[in-house]
Amino acid sequence: MEKRFAVWVEISANKEWILDLAKFQSVMEKCREIGTTEVILSVKDTTGFALYPSAIAPHYAKYDSAFLPEKDYVEQCFSVIKSMGMKCFAAFDTFAGGNKENPHPEMPAIAREGFACTVYGLEKDGKAVLRESASVGGLHTVGSIDDFGEIFLNPAKKEVRDYTLSLLREFVEHYHPDGIVLDRVRYVGLSTDFSEESRKQWEEYSAIKDEKWPEDIYTIEKTAEGYREKAGKYFGSFLSFRMQIIHDFMQEVRQLLSAYPEVEFCDYTGSWYPLYDRVGANWALPSYEGNEFPRCEREKLRKTAYAEEIDTLFSGCYYEEVTILEAREKKRPADWYSVEGAAELAKKVAGGRETPRIIDSLFLDQYRKNPRKIAEAIAMCMAHSDGCMLFDLSYLVKENWWEYAYPMEYVSFHRADRDSVSELLKASFFPEYGINDEKLESHLFSDREFSPECSLCMKKGGKGKDAGRVLGFSAVKLSQNQNLYPDTAWLSIFAVEEAYRNRGYGTVLLQKTAAVLQKRGIRKLFVGQDFANFFSGIPAPDEKKCGFFTRLGFTVNTEDHYDLEGKLQCNDKIEEFDSSPWEKQCTAEVYHGEKEALLRFLHEEFPGRWAFEAEDALEKGKASEEVLLLWNPERTEVLGYCMLSAARDGNGTKTGYGGLGPIGIAKKIRGRHVGDYLLHEGLVQLRKIGVETVNIDWTILKDFYGQFGFVPARTYRGAYKNL
């Protein structure tokens, strides 16, 4: 199923473009370009005023004079959204109906008697009081979640619920939205509701009549950190009662919307389920067997679960840390204090069935210090749920964060992507790395260890003109030699298009690659270092590159190694080398089919990779002139070995470029500079076969090779990750 991508439009933060049709069209075009499938327009916010002419709620113009009286801003915005092929969802702040900081006489919490909830708290002198929420200034309460000045309504009051249901019915009948999204379908915190209405209903629910209200629910204690509740004997009953009130309201909405099957019933909640007893909402499935609320009687708690009443749950994964690992490193109280952990929790509590669909949601302002993490967070939501919702449009516009919001597609490499991948890789590395069509063919696409299934293309999402374009690629090779490299993979080459670097996309691409490999049973991943490799580690390592891999869990070596290069023509150091001291002790000759002797030497002296590579090269028809053996005087024993190569272009013509290595001698003759002699003879042989410039890769032996004028040309740093 296609992933959904929603953008929320809150009224006050976005009024500049809500008021201006041309500006709204402009920002909606950008939403469409990044792949937005649906726009959630707040049509009645926490003030209680409506963005459209309503016979029930006051028009927003009465609250904010920038809005025109009786103008239908919903109709104006919906027409733009629909014209661009996106779905229209309407958001209602359900049980918030006023604002203490900016009160207005027509706010429902103020205008309608008994609508505002009753708050339990302590006055400055420590006296416990019950007070209407519109006038709780200076009251010390516990367990409050919202602190933005909203006046919450009492969900237990029938007139409040009827008022809300009538608004929903009026809106659906007139505007026929694709969906309704309810927000704040809950209590403000533990402090509500302690009205006589709620007391009577709780007594009927619990069959208790002799309680001390509110002391038998809980009392408030002052501590060094502030104030906290001390549970009374009926605390658990009070918690489940409030959850039942919310459950029953959600059933009422479900019943109302059953007459409009084309309208999707959605709910927004915070993902912090273990704390939701404080706000009186149980958004779990009835089948969920958690133990988050031990004070509540289990059977009564099960009856309060309302997830099966809704079609879609927007779960607010509002955390700065994206991964569980980050949350643990920051010593957060639980794994769900991260986008990943919150997504997993929501899936455990309300997922596992066709409905509700879960769409993980992000609060963009939390990434202000590092907006590159937006891309990573979006990818995390897409990976763990049916999509992603961004709150709010204003951050995309005002901070110009559009560039971080493209929901990329991550798919296995397919041959149809070959040309695009090749162009990306060639453009991503300096010419000195020699990334050309011939090398990509030989070292990647035709390499028997290359795994198209485990190699991922990152493609631009959305519906713009560049949708589907390859913007990143991770090439993976899998070990075909389980004795030498069991359950091992190599990240052979990895690139993100320059314009999309430093935005978090590379992080997501590598995370997804590692996840694919884990499912495949791979236990170790190296950066480069594959047999036919482009790089022997992180190329041109610096603090930024090494930090990138370190943050992703790689172990990065502390020392560098090098590719060395030197010229063979007019090289006085080769000419001046005196080989006479070794000519009577050994002799260097090109390979003439002495395979058994060579392999015996390698398995005894250099078992493992060198032996494997040499045998593989000979099986593939390695030219005899490119293998140099060091023999004892009797020519009965191989004492050393040097692999050579002469590069050829696509037509098979030698280019004058070549390589040397590996090179090694027997243990019994080490320490006598015999290696110097073998190296000299290898360079002479390379010159004979037409090589002018020689590359010696993956070495730390700068002095050994430096005696013949070789100097570092490229620097690398080894890195690996245990999966």
Q: What is the 3-state secondary structure (H, E, C) of 82-116?
A: HHCCCEEEEEEECCEEEECCCCCCCCHHHHCCCCE
Do the beta carbons of residue 565 and residue 694 sit within 8 Å?
Answer: yes
Q: Which amino acid is at 579?
A: S
pLDDT at residue 79 in the model: 98
Dmax over CA atoms of the chain, in Å, equals: 111
What is the full DSSP assignment across 43-72? EE-TTS-BSS--SSSPBGGGT-TTSPTT--
Q: For residue 710, is it within any domain?
A: no
Residues 529 and 574 both lie in one domain: no
Pairing of strands 87-93, 409-412: unpaired
Residues of the chain with pLDDT under 50: none
Report the C-alpha gap between 246 and 476 in whole angstroms. 51
Q: 587 - beta bridge partners?
A: 631
pTM for the full predicted model: 0.76
Find the CATH number of the domain harbouring 266. Answer: 3.20.20.80
Q: For residue 418, is it within any domain?
A: yes
Cis peptide before 392 (omega within 30 of 0): yes
Average pLDDT, the chain: 95
Do the beta carbons of residue 296 and residue 241 sit within 8 Å?
Answer: no
Report the C-alpha gap between 141 and 121 in whole angstroms. 5
- In total, the chain counts a number of residues equal to 723
Among 360, 383, 404, residue at a domain's last position = 404
Q: For residue 708, is it within any domain?
A: no
Do the beta carbons of residue 563 and residue 696 sit within 8 Å?
Answer: yes
CA distance readout (Å), 71 to 50, 59, 167: 11, 9, 18
Tokens of 334: 């639980």
What is the full DSSP assignment across 257-291? HTT-TTSEEEEEEES-GGGGGGTT---S-TT----
Report the C-alpha gap between 217 and 360 in whole angstroms. 34
CA distance readout (Å), 666 to 73, 209, 242: 85, 95, 81
Q: Which residues, in sequence order, are CB contacts of 269 under 8 Å at separation 6+?
A: 185, 186, 276, 281, 283, 313, 314, 315, 316
Residues 61 and 157 both lie in one domain: yes
Among 560, 580, 598, residue at a domain's last position = 560
Q: For residue 709, is it within any domain?
A: no
Cis peptide before 662 (omega within 30 of 0): yes
Among 404, 423, 448, residue at a domain's last position = 404
Look at the chain and report how many structural domains it folds into. 3
Q: Helices 373-384 and 339-350 meet at what angle, rounded to 10?
A: 20
CA triple 254-255-259, angle to 5 deg: 105
What pLDDT, in 10s, does the model give residues 490-543? 999 999 999 888 777 898 899 899 999 999 999 999 999 999 999 999 999 999
Tokens of 491: 């990240």
Residues 191 and 276 both lie in one domain: yes
Query: Among 680, 530, 644, 666, which Cα is nearest to 598's?
Result: 666
pLDDT at residue 502 in the model: 78
Which residue range is the domain that position 659 belongs to?
569-691
Q: For residue 698, is it within any domain?
A: no
Residue with tokens 């493992």: 608
Residues 456 and 326 both lie in one domain: no
Residues 250 and 352 both lie in one domain: yes
Residues 71 and 167 both lie in one domain: yes
Instruction: Identify the burial level of 387 via C-beta atoms within 10 angstroms of its C-beta, where 0-12 means exposed, 13-18 middle and 19 or more buried.
Output: buried
Total Cβ atoms within 10 A of residue 258: 10
Report the C-alpha gap between 324 and 224 in whole angstroms. 31
Do the beta carbons of residue 236 and residue 153 sit within 8 Å?
Answer: no
Q: For residue 703, is it within any domain?
A: no
Report the C-alpha gap between 344 and 332 in whole angstroms. 16
pLDDT at residue 224 in the model: 87
* DSSP E strand boundaries for 521-677: 524-527, 538-539, 555-567, 587-590, 627-631, 638-648, 654-665
Residues 372 and 423 both lie in one domain: no
Residues 63 and 107 both lie in one domain: yes
What pLDDT, in 10s, does the model give residues 557-603? 999 999 999 999 999 999 999 999 998 899 999 999 999 999 999 99
Report the C-alpha gap between 573 and 230 in whole angstroms. 86
Residues 464 and 547 both lie in one domain: yes
Residues 529 and 674 both lie in one domain: no
Residues 483 and 532 both lie in one domain: yes
Q: Which amino acid is at 340?
A: E
Residues 151 and 37 both lie in one domain: yes
Q: For residue 159, is it within any domain?
A: yes
Query: Among 309, 306, 315, 366, which Cα is nearest to 344's?
Result: 315
Tokens of 663: 């090179």
Report the C-alpha gap between 556 and 466 in whole angstroms. 36
Find the CATH number of the domain harbouring 644. Answer: 3.40.630.30
Helix (H) or strand (E) segment spanning residue 421: helix 418-428
What is the full DSSP assignment across 324-384? HHHHHHTT-SSTTSSHHHHHHHHHHHH-SSSSSEEEEEEEGGGGSS-TTHHHHHHHHHHHH
pLDDT at residue 145 in the model: 67
Do the beta carbons of residue 109 and residue 97 sit within 8 Å?
Answer: yes
Quote the DSSP letter at residue 450.
Answer: B
Report the C-alpha gap between 704 and 88 in whole angstroms. 70
Question: b/e string for 511-521 if b means 16 or more Cβ within 10 A?
Answer: bbbbebbeeee
CA distance readout (Å), 509 to 242, 374, 376, 410: 44, 14, 9, 7
Report the C-alpha gap between 494 and 473 in whole angstroms. 6
Q: For residue 518, is it within any domain?
A: yes
